[in-house]
Structure 1
Amino acid sequence: MAAGSAASYCLHTETQALAEQSAHLEDHAAALQKDAATLSEGIALLRRQQDEEKENKQNKRLKENEENARLLKTLQEKEKEAELIRQECASARAEQLAVQKRINDLEKKLKEITSDENGGAGWEPVGPDTVKPPEVNPPGPETDARLRQTARDYLSARKHGKAAELSGHFAPYCNYQYANNREVPNAAIMNNIRESWKKWPQRAYRILKVAYQDNHVEIIYLYRYANQKGRRAQGYARERWQTNSIGKIIHWREDLHPNTPPRESPGYRLAPSNINQSKQ
């Protein structure tokens, strides 16, 4: 009887322990299911975020491609415009050279005609009645005023970087000091001057003298330069021009003097400094 009771108690105890263990396992399984559901939701969220990011990147890439295509089209159009401008410039240049050639031919023909009229002696005097050619810059108040104004306009164009105006003072071709004393096109001279402008973006000039002898002109001036880094340069310059019959420079030289202004060449006429002079 006692043995049966003990066996019954042990069976009851084991059954209860098994029931508790089963309940514990069920709770753990429920917790695992909950964690699995949470993890699944997290994975789904990450996938949505990845899909959205991928879509955004694709849209961004598409927009970039569209923008690049638009920029390429604009660049191609600008290149076409630039090519047209270059062709127009080349045409204008050729026309300018043709005009200058006609001028030179006419001057040569005029000289030959005058030479024939004077017995083949050209412009050299052969007697008291021989007609001399007109001087390019006949000495007098009108020439004084004109050349001083030319000098002011020339230095003003240099000071303010007005390339078109400055280019107009030179002939289509000019023997230029900084081209190894060779005759070069007007454009090559302007390229050299632009390099100087880049080096010295701040410039100031003051005319001291203008002197001339027929088609030879000299301008003497004080210059002051400065760059963006605060570097400065100052001195005196004398430019020596030889001009053609219409006053365009065909031969250009300069000499620089750091401390004292140079003198004009002997025999040159000085244009008075009180003829409507303004500071440069």
Structure 2
Amino acid sequence: MIKKESMQVISSKEIAKDTVEMKLENSYISETAVPGQFLHILLEGHSLRRPISIADVDKEKKLVTILFKKLGSGTEQLAEVNSGALLDVLGPGGNGFTVDTKGKSTVLLIGGGIGVPPMYYLGKTYANQGINVISVLGFQSKEHVFYEEEFQELGETFIVTNDGSYGDKGFVTNALHKVGKFDNYYSCGPLPMLKAITNKLQEKTGFISLEERMGCGVGACFACVLPTKTEKGYKKICSDGPVFDAREVVL
């Protein structure tokens, strides 16, 4: 259940170009969060909260890790928050990934840019349960790459950059031919990337997490609706998602 909580900033550092890793302490959120959920953070002077994906959780230390890009005044302000400060947070938000190991031996994770963070907690969860994890991660350039070593610890990892300055050149779809057999795929990233992946892997069972600006973050304002193939027609990304069956949504 989503709750309004205060989260203390334990550490904050830039780990790649315009990309910040922040560790937050909170008992309730660290205990209840699942891969694919997000924090909805309110910053002083702003009327709307910022949804930030959860990248990792350490239940023993009661820590939640978020990774975010400095893309505007809100995230730039968040990057300047000092250790020890308290953040006003709603969380954990949304419906995350269902971690199902039954009948699975290998899962494929596909992340693009700031869609990479939620893939890490999901991959770590699967790896801890003995499932083989393959990751394909896309970035703009070498200076934007982050968490490569962390993903490599989970399993085979392929890096793709738009300009070819590191790893393979192109988009994540250009590296899929290198991937061996897998059971399910999971992906998060920009909408064009998700469209390309779901088209290319339409014969496979997949689950995608959508990045979207949100209003309330709890399903009350209808600011983040998405057309689906279900009888209801539309679903709310903040409360019905952000994770959906790839065959369910209309991208």
Length-normalised TM-score, structure 2: 0.22
Length-normalised TM-score, structure 1: 0.20
Greater helix fraction, Structure 1 or Structure 2: 1
Q: Which protein, 1 or 2, shows the higher relative CO under an 8 Å CA cutoff with sep ≥ 6?
A: 2
Greater strand fraction, Structure 1 or Structure 2: 2
